[in-house]
């Protein structure tokens, strides 16, 4: 009777039945969906962070301006004065460019305190009101105000060349030849063809160089008036020289003034060419 009991005790118990799981009963963990209020709160946090940066930068700028004023005593920008921030330049920008005839330009010579001081260079009008002690009444260059005196800017003859006619000005940079014939090309009948050709090429080269010097002289003054002197001078418009506006031209071609004539050099190569 003991054998059956032994078999019963050594028998392996049957595995517990596990109910099958269906795919529908399997749960997958998903992140909780954010509500609209939570999303809005996150966006608010981002915007607040951006405004914090703006406030920080604004505070630094304010601190810099205060320190600048305390140290310099006058300037909020450590002595830097941007040209575009000048009140006169802002007012001019708001009014727009000017288009004046020579007669209208003459009214802006500084004698009328209600008008700016203007001058013209090669047809462009510039505001020089920032220097009334120079271009206003009694100033050293008051004679240049209210007109286009480009020719005088090049020749230096501020008494007789107060106009914008640049015709023939390049002659002041062309060396004086030893003989009038070598300059005009006339009276060369007894000179060989080769010499005449060399002289012609020389005159053409000297004329090109002279005209370049005239351009450079005018350009140097333009840089002064168009933003030079720390931006206190600036462009304002153009001189109206249309025929329908009454422009009659410069008239007859003018001779060089005495000062410009005296400044001409001698053509050193003329003797070599003439003796060939």
- Alpha-carbon distance of 147 to 92, in angstroms, equals 19
What pLDDT score does 129 carry? 95
What pLDDT score does 91 carry? 86
> Phi and psi dihedrals of 231, rounded to 5?
85, 10
Tokens of 194: 């080769």
Instruction: Give the DSSP letter string of 146-200.
Output: TSB-HHHHHH--TTT--S---TTGGGGGSPBPSSHHHHH--S-TTS-HHHHHHHH
pTM over 0.85: no
Q: What is the CA radius of gyration of the chain?
A: 43
List average pLDDT for each run of 10 residues in the chain, which is 276 residues long: 49 52 54 60 61 87 86 73 72 92 96 96 96 96 96 96 96 82 54 83 93 97 88 94 91 94 77 47
What pLDDT score does 42 carry? 60
Beta bridge partners of 100: 239
- Alpha-carbon distance of 85 to 75, in angstroms, equals 13
Q: Residue 258 in 3-state DSSP?
A: helix
- Alpha-carbon distance of 192 to 103, in angstroms, equals 54
What pLDDT score does 239 carry? 97
Q: Which domains does the chain have, with CATH numbers?
A: 38-80 (no CATH), 83-274 (3.10.120.10)
Cβ neighbours of residue 118 under 8 Å, at least 6 residues apart?
98, 100, 105, 108, 125, 126, 127, 128, 129, 145, 146, 236
> Phi and psi dihedrals of 130, rounded to 5?
-70, -15
């Amino acid at each position: 009777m003991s054998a059956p009991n032994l078999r019963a005790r050594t028998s392996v118990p049957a595995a517990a039945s596990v109910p099958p799981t269906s795919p529908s009963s399997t749960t997958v963990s998903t992140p909780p969906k954010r509500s609209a209020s939570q999303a809005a709160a996150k966006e608010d946090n981002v915007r607040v962070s951006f405004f914090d940066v703006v406030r920080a930068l604004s505070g630094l700028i304010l601190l810099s301006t205060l320190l600048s004023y305390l140290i310099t005593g006058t300037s909020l920008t450590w002595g830097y004065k941007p040209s575009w921030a000048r009140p006169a330049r802002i007012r001019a920008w708001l009014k727009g460019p000017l288009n004046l005839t020579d007669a209208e330009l003459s009214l802006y010579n500084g004698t009328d305190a209600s008008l700016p001081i203007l001058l013209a260079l090669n047809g462009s009008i510039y505001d020089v009101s920032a220097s009334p002690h120079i271009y206003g009444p009694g100033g050293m260059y008051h004679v240049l105000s209210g007109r286009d005196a480009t020719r005088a800017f090049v020749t230096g003859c501020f008494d007789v060349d107060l106009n914008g006619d640049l015709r023939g000005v390049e002659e002041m940079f062309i060396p004086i030849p030893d003989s009038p014939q070598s300059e005009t090309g006339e009276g060369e009948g007894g000179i060989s063809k080769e010499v005449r050709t060399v002289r012609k090429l020389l005159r053409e080269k000297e004329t090109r160089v002279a005209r370049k010097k005239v351009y450079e002289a005018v350009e140097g003054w333009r840089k002064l008036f168009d933003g030079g002197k720390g931006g206190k001078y600036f462009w304002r418009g153009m001189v109206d020289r249309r025929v329908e506006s009454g422009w009659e031209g410069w008239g007859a071609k003018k001779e060089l003034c005495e000062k410009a004539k005296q400044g001409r050099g001698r053509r050193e190569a003329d003797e070599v060419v003439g003796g060939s």
